[in-house]
């Protein structure tokens, strides 16, 4: 029994590729479900299934009440039987006891089979979803299991199945059953029937991953893929740049005699791949993106709203090559560079400028400057109309003519954009910042108008007022908005400063106070001085120490010889001492001069001095006392 059970258990583990704990939990839950169905047990009763891995035995433990006499064996057990599992069991307790039915083996196997399969299937689905969710954006391989007009069903690892819809397949490619397919994991969804894995061979990241696999420089980051534009099955353009100097990024991708790129072309069933070098300059990058066509000039036409348009002028014989079959080359170049590209031949561009110089009033001054050049260009265009072949010098002259005019036009557009930005900055200064968070419902407009404005892309009152002042025509294009509504929006913008409170300006932080370090002139200056006097000035205590004590009491005697205890305050630090006001510090006592005192006609102060007392072993203060007569006594301790 042991060998059979363990063999079957290990076989399930190996076949399903699942953790051991997952299978044990599935078996335990299935056995509990089988027991409940076989004996019709209540769902409120606690039941556990114990699996013995050594012999394969299954034990069902059910919670039962301990009673003297059993009336319902499904929910009650005797005290003697309960104490076999819990020695401390008492009457009325709930105890987990062995409740395995005698014929549970065969019944449990039949009843638990479906439950075990369901739990294992759920565990497999969770493992598959967790595995393939991490593979999104990576290339995997599988075997075609089914093919139909809607797409392919591909068998993957972990016994998972992936689907490749027809739109994710390269046009004109066909697969048969048992063919091995490489594809990109585009999407993974969790469904009730397991994970839905969507594979793609048309995604541009599929080409990116193929390049990383075939080109070691890209895999190690020496060459970087900047952008990819692709029309699956026909053509693709890849812009690459080198992260280190001295490396040819295009040559690294193409390989010796094109061996690297040819491997990718075969994988994509003949899809042509153009590898170009990325350039930070838009004009240079666009010129390379149009390759293999030669370019006369690239001129950027950026509008005030930020739309990026570029005009590419090419020789007349290169026009069809620059546009490509059905405009394919131009489309891929536009996707690769993120610019809208207009392609014109040199002759067409010259004709457009000649017409503009003659008919547009704002170009009158420019036409006068280019009068001589216009005459020569007209002569060249006349010979071209007669079918004559133009020389290289004539083509160069017309190319220089177009280049000057296009650069002049570009400067005008740049000045217009700068003026637009300045005006926008002025308008923004008049609109409070809080208006860009204000809902449109606070404006005096109908609900239908607000819905139309929101559908046009305006989500706040500030954006609506800004656009109304900068580009009123854009507001009038909204369905249902007329001149009266535009006036309401402008009036609301004038009242915005009153409706939206101005944000308080942050107070400037105070500058930190800088205190100059005192300069010491003697060694004694490093000592700390603490002085304390009584309110009546009868007692004076002074002490000089190099180490400041926290607190000390000393005895002192007054004029009445009454002993007092005075506490000396905590000695201040060296820096704090120099911060003290000089008025708070008592000046050093001087010698008493009777003649000098009499000459001033003022009452003299009691003289004091500080000296070291060898008997006491400390520094004390002394002063003179006046006796009964007019004489002054010698210095005495205080």
CATH number of the domain where residue 466 is located: 1.10.150
Same domain assignment for residues 13 and 120 = yes
Please report which confidence band the pLDDT of residue 252 belongs to, taking 50, 70 and 90 as the band edges: very high
139: domain CATH number? 2.40.50.140
pTM, full prediction: 0.63
Q: Give tens-digit pLDDT for 496-540.
A: 777 776 555 555 555 554 444 444 443 443 333 333 333 433 433
- Considering only residues 511 and 210, tell me which one the structure prediction assigns the higher pLDDT: 210
Same domain assignment for residues 460 and 531 = no
Whether 309 maps to a domain, the answer reads: no
The answer, yes or no, to whether residue 171 has pLDDT greater than 50, is yes
Domain ranges, residue 546:
523-637
Please report which confidence band the pLDDT of residue 387 belongs to, taking 50, 70 and 90 as the band edges: confident
Same domain assignment for residues 93 and 65 = yes
Q: Which of 93-107, 146-160, 263-277, 501-515 has the lowest mean pLDDT?
A: 501-515
Whether 144 maps to a domain, the answer reads: yes
Same domain assignment for residues 173 and 123 = no
Whether 171 maps to a domain, the answer reads: yes
Same domain assignment for residues 104 and 34 = yes
62: domain CATH number? 3.30.1480.10
Whether 598 maps to a domain, the answer reads: yes
Q: Which of 149-153, 240-244, 255-259, 549-553 has the lowest mean pLDDT?
A: 549-553
Q: Give tens-digit pLDDT for 45-98.
A: 899 888 777 776 778 889 898 898 888 888 888 888 888 888 888 888 888 988
- Considering only residues 371 and 538, tell me which one the structure prediction assigns the higher pLDDT: 371
Number of domains comprising the chain: 4
Whether 213 maps to a domain, the answer reads: no
Same domain assignment for residues 9 and 88 = yes
Helix (H) or strand (E) holding 121: helix 104-133
Same domain assignment for residues 8 and 38 = yes
Same domain assignment for residues 533 and 554 = yes
Same domain assignment for residues 122 and 147 = no
Degrees to nearest 5, angle at CA 624 with 619 and 627: 145
Whether 399 maps to a domain, the answer reads: no
Same domain assignment for residues 7 and 118 = yes
Same domain assignment for residues 89 and 168 = no
Q: Give tens-digit pLDDT for 18-52.
A: 677 777 787 788 888 888 887 888 888 899 888 77
- Contacts of the segment 292-298: beta carbons below 8 A, 24+ positions apart: 292/321, 293/318, 293/321, 293/322, 293/329, 294/318, 295/322, 296/346, 296/399, 296/402, 297/399, 297/402, 297/403, 297/406
In this prediction, residues 171-198 reach a mean pLDDT of 92
How much is the mean pLDDT over the chain?
A: 78
Please tell me the predicted confidence (pLDDT) of residue 509: 55
User: Of 78, 108, 127, which marks where a domain is finished?
Assistant: 127
Whether 577 maps to a domain, the answer reads: yes
CA distances from 191 to 152, 158, 196, 244, 624 (A): 19, 17, 7, 47, 105
- Contacts of the segment 373-382: beta carbons below 8 A, 24+ positions apart: 373/401, 377/350, 377/401, 378/354, 381/347, 381/350, 381/351, 381/354
Same domain assignment for residues 86 and 169 = no
User: Of 127, 153, 188, which marks where a domain is finished?
Assistant: 127
In this prediction, residues 157-166 reach a mean pLDDT of 92
Of the chain, the end-to-end C-alpha distance in Å amounts to: 107
Report the C-alpha gap between 476 and 406 in whole angstroms. 33
Whether 424 maps to a domain, the answer reads: no
């Amino acid at each position: 029994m042991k060998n059979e059970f363990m063999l079957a258990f290990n076989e399930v583990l190996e076949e399903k590729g699942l953790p051991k704990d997952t299978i044990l939990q599935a078996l335990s839950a299935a056995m509990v479900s089988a027991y409940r169905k076989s004996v019709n047990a209540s769902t409120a009763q606690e039941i556990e299934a114990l699996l013995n891995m050594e012999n394969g035995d299954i034990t069902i433990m059910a919670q039962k009440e301990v009673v003297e006499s059993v009336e319902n064996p499904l929910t009650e057990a005797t005290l003697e039987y309960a104490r076999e599992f819990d020695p401390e069991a008492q009457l009325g307790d709930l105890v987990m006891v062995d409740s395995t039915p005698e014929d549970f083996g065969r019944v449990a196997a039949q009843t638990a089979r479906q439950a075990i399969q369901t739990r294992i299937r759920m565990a497999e689905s969770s493992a598959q979803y967790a595995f393939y969710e991490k593979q999104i954006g990576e290339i995997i391989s599988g075997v075609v299991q089914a093919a139909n007009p809607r797409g392919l069903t591909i068998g993957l690892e972990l016994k998972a199945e992936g689907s490749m819809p027809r739109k994710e397949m390269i046009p004109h490619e066909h697969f048969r059953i048992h063919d091995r397919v490489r594809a990109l994991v585009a999407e993974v969804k969790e469904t009730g029937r397991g994970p839905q894995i969507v594979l793609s061979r048309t995604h541009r990241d599929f080409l990116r991953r193929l390049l990383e696999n075939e080109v070691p420089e890209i895999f190690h980051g020496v060459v970087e893929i900047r952008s990819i534009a692709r029309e699956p099955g026909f053509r693709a353009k890849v812009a690459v740049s080198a992260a280190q100097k001295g490396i040819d990024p295009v040559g690294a991708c193409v390989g010796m005699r094109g061996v690297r790129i040819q491997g990718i072309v075969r994988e994509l069933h003949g899809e042509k791949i153009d590898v170009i070098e990325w350039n930070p300059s838009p004009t240079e990058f666009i010129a390379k993106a149009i390759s293999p066509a030669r370019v006369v000039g690239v001129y950027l036409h950026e509008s005030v709203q930020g739309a990026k348009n570029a005009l590419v002028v090419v020789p007349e014989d290169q026009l069809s090559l620059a546009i490509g079959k059905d405009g394919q080359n131009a489309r891929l170049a536009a996707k690769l560079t993120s610019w809208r590209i207009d392609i014109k031949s040199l002759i067409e561009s010259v004709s457009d400028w000649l017409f503009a110089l003659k008919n547009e009033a704002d170009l009158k001054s420019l036409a006068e400057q280019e009068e001589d050049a216009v005459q020569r260009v007209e002569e060249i265009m006349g010979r071209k109309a007669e079918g004559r072949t133009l020389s290289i010098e004539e083509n160069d002259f017309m190319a220089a003519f177009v280049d000057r005019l296009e650069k002049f036009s570009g400067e005008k557009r740049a000045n217009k954009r700068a003026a637009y930005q300045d005006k926008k900055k002025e308008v923004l200064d008049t609109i409070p910042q809080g208006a860009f968070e204000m809902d449109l419902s606070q404006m005096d407009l109908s609900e239908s108008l607000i819905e139309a404005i929101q559908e046009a892309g305006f989500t706040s009152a500030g954006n609506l007022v800004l656009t109304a002042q900068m580009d009123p025509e854009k507001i009038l294009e909204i369905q249902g908005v007329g001149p009266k509504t535009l006036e309401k929006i402008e009036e609301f913008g004038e009242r915005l400063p009153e409706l939206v409170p101005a944000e308080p300006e942050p107070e400037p932080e105070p500058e930190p106070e800088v205190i100059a370090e005192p300069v010491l002139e003697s060694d004694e200056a490093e000592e700390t001085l603490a002085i304390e006097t009584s309110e009546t000035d009868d007692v004076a205590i002074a002490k000089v120490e190099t180490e400041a004590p926290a607190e000390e009491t000393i005895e002192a005697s007054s004029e009445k010889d009454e002993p007092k205890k005075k506490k000396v305050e905590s000695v201040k630090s060296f820096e704090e001492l120099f911060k003290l006001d000089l008025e708070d510090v008592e000046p050093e006592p001087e010698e008493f001069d009777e003649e000098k005192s009499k000459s001033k006609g003022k009452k003299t102060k009691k003289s004091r001095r500080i000296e070291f007392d060898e008997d006491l072993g400390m520094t004390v203060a002394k002063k003179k006392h006046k006796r009964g007569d007019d004489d002054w006594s010698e210095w005495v301790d205080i």
